């Protein structure tokens, strides 16, 4: 069974790389070097269908392959790894936490999305601080100039610029979470209702929610 999960994770991670290589993305207007991508849908989908092991293996595979075929190595792949891993960890924590106080499937899923977004924003804010302020200050200049043009204002000092950069970077990461999470949940529901395959007993997401619902019934 462990071999099955590892193989499934490797497949979802490889699929994420393929989607990324296809270059299906569009820029975030306030800071154009930030781009919305769909590659992580594969990772989130694998996690929601088969659970944390597949999710982690897919993230690890994604990172390893990007170090070979990706761009901006090793920083780019490292940031992709941190973004994806923080998101699935947040979703997992959110589902577990919400399942302790509500039986509503939609509310549990929504709470998973919220916690996933918060953890991703937090982790990526730390990474962005390291990039902008320590490793590559030139990106700070690019971001501040882009944001200044977008907002139509000039920054009186670097602290003001940095605060707004973090605000808009957080908005970007929250939106990116929605872009990869919502389609993944939709696909899971389609697979469960129409396809079946090896998911006759339900996806990891559905089974987790069912376990929490049964636990609440006993309280």
Three-state SS at 103: coil
What is the pLDDT at residue 2? 76
pLDDT of residue 1 exceeding 70 = no
pLDDT in tens, 33-53: 999 999 999 999 999 999 999
3-class DSSP string for 106-142: HHHHHHHHHHHHHHHHHHHHHHHHHHHHHHCHHHHHH
DSSP character at residue 195: I
Question: 194: domain range?
Answer: 2-218
pLDDT in tens, 118-134: 999 999 999 999 999 99
pLDDT classification of 70: cutoffs 50, 70, 90? confident
CATH value at residue 192: 1.10.1760.20
Q: What share of the chain is helix, strand, coil (3-state, %, to 5)?
A: 80, 5, 20
Q: What angle separates helix 137-151 from helix 158-190, to the nearest 10 degrees?
A: 80
Please tell me the total count of domains within the chain: 1
Question: Virtual CA dihedral for 97, 103, 108, 109, nearest 10 degrees?
Answer: 150
What is the pLDDT at residue 216? 80
Q: How large a percentage of the chain has pLDDT more than 70? A: 95
Give the pLDDT mean for 81-86.
Answer: 98
What is the pLDDT at residue 4? 86
Average pLDDT of every residue of the chain: 92
pLDDT in tens, 170-210: 999 999 999 999 999 999 998 888 765 554 567 899 999 98
Which bin fits 136, alpha (ψ -120 to 50), beta or left (φ > 0)? beta
CA distance 14 to 30: 31
């Amino acid at each position: 069974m462990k071999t099955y999960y590892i193989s499934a994770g490797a497949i979802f991670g490889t699929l994420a790389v393929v989607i990324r290589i296809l270059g299906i993305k569009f820029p975030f207007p306030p800071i154009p070097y930030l781009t919305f991508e769909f590659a992580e849908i594969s990772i989130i989908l694998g996690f929601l269908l088969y659970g944390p092991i597949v999710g982690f293996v897919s993230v690890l595979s994604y990172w390893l392959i990007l170090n070979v075929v990706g761009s901006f190595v090793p920083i780019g792949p490292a940031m992709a790894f941190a973004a994806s891993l923080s998101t699935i960890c947040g979703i997992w924590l959110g589902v577990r936490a919400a399942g302790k106080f509500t039986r509503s499937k939609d509310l549990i899923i929504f709470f998973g999305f919220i916690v996933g977004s918060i953890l991703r924003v937090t982790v990526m804010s730390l990474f962005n601080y390291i990039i902008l302020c320590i490793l590559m200050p030139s990106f700070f200049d690019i971001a501040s100039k882009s944001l200044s043009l977008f907002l139509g204002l000039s920054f009186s000092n670097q602290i003001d610029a940095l605060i707004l950069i973090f605000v808009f970077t957080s908005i970007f990461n929250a939106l990116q979470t929605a872009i990869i999470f919502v389609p993944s949940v939709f696909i899971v529901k389609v697979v469960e209702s129409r396809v079946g395959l090896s998911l006759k007993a339900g996806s990891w997401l559905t089974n987790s929610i069912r376990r929490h619902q049964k636990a609440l019934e006993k309280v």
